[in-house]
Amino acid sequence: MSPTFYSILHVISILLLTGWTFYAFAAAPETRKGVMIITGVLSLLALVAGFGLQAKLQVGWPGWLIVKIVCWLGLSALAGFGYRRRQAAGTLTVIASLLVIVAVTMVYTRAF
């Protein structure tokens, strides 16, 4: 598959993962199972597409990629925290926003 396909798949899955994570912060507890399934599938899709893109572009393991993986792990975990810590939804929203901002900044600046 082409790098463009992996790139589009990666970006769409990350956008949807971010949206569903924010939804988890405000959703009713009865929706937990469905939201966790969706965020898990989107997280796996983002991982596969990201590593497919890395393999196609042959970028190796630069520092910015490691930072992006850490941001992905954090964002993937936040939906579960949103259901367990309902009173901390505001803080979790800020953390999720910062993780997304850092990940996007790493891609466009390739700082490391």
**CA pair distance 23, 82, nearest whole angstrom:** 9
The pLDDT value given to residue 30: 94
Whole-model pTM: value is 0.91
- Write out the chain's pLDDT in tens, 112 residues: 899 999 999 999 999 999 999 999 999 999 999 999 999 999 999 999 999 999 999 999 999 999 999 999 999 999 999 999 889 999 999 999 999 999 999 999 987 6
Tokens 């769409």 correspond to: 12
69 exposed, middle or buried (CB, 10 Å; 0-12, 13-18, 19+)?
Answer: middle
**CA pair distance 9, 22, nearest whole angstrom:** 20
Instruction: Report which residue type is found at 39.
Output: T
